[in-house]
Chains A and B, each alone.
Chain A
Amino acid sequence: DAKTTQPTSMDCAEGRAANLPCNHSTISGNEYVYWYRQIHSQGPQYIIHGLKNNETNEMASLIITEDRKSSTLILPHATLRDTAVYYCIVILQTSGSRLTFGEGTQLTVNP
């Protein structure tokens, strides 16, 4: 699985968009970009995933650069409940892929 690099921490004002970057320069053609988050004392939560096209769901948008070497997770209107550690993971297109969380980005949404 390709290695990912994320900032250690970010702050965002409540109601503003939170843009979380991820670098995955060694990604291969059949690897997908997944985003999860973990709120303190809760289980990890799947957010979104994509291959090369931008994706949007009810939680967030995922923007993947054309060369696929980086991506950005966008929470359009961050709330206090979005405070969590966000993990960017690159894995093959197979179910059963084990999730390995790196350090992730601690996002703090401030009132």
Chain B
Amino acid sequence: DAGVIQSPRHEVTEMGQEVTLRCKPISGHNSLFWYRQTMMRGLELLIYFNNNVPIDDSGMPEDRFSAKMPNASFSTLKIQPSEPRDSAVYFCASSLEVVDGTGAEGQYFGPGTRLTVT
């Protein structure tokens, strides 16, 4: 398996522009997570999907951020309009939820998208 795939790897945009980040989770995984990481705030969970349904979006900063998962193999995170404070590395991760009592499997992260908003 190729692992979690994210695109683009780098994005530089001007304030006010729309940014769309893309993620393809590992085939067979049923949970998907969007995180962002900055030096100041560390790793923050933005939103979590299970079976393509958003379960926890409490980490989404504000209405400028939106995420979708139209099917099991694709998710997007959109920022509109973007602001300089959105500059960060955005990670997508996927995992397989298990219900047999062995514990949730680890989350497998993509390489990230480094977003710079000027």
User: What CA separation (Å) do A44 and B95 show in the bound complex?
Assistant: 13
Q: Which of A13-54 contact B (CB under 8 A)?
A: 32, 34, 36, 42-49, 51
- Do B106 and A36 touch (CB < 8 A)? yes
Specify which of A51, A95, A100 is in contact with B97 (CB 8 Å cutoff).
A95
List the B side residues contacting A97 at CB < 8 Å: 104
Enumerate chain B residues within 8 angstroms of A43, measured Cβ to Cβ. Answer: 4, 91, 93, 109-112
**How many of chain B's residues touch chain A, expressed as a range?**
20 to 34
* Stretch touching chain A among B14-22, B41-49, B80-88: B41-49
Closest A residue by C-beta to B6: A43
Residue B31 is within 8 A (CB to CB) of chain A in the complex: yes
Contact between chains at B56 and A96 (CB < 8 Å):
yes
Secondary structure type dominating chain A contacts: loop
A94–chain B nearest beta-carbon distance, Å: 6
Contact between B109 and A94, CB atoms less than 8 A apart: no
CB of B107 closer than 8 Å to a CB of A = yes
Contact B91 A99 (CB under 8 A): no
Q: A105 vs B55: C-alpha distance in the bound complex, in angstroms?
A: 32
Give, as a whole number of angstroms, the nearest-CB distance from B59 to chain A: 7
Give the complex CA separation of A48 and B105 in angstroms: 9
Q: B104 and A95: CB pair below 8 A?
A: yes
| Contact A99/B45 with A43-B91, A43-B109 known, Cβ cut-off 8 Å | yes
Contact indicator A101/B109 (Cβ below 8 Å):
no
Q: Given A96-B48, A96-B55, are A101 and B43 neighbors across the interface (CB < 8 Å)?
A: yes
Give the residues in chain A near B108, CB-CB below 8 Å: 46
Nearest-neighbor residue (CB-CB) of B29 within chain A: A95
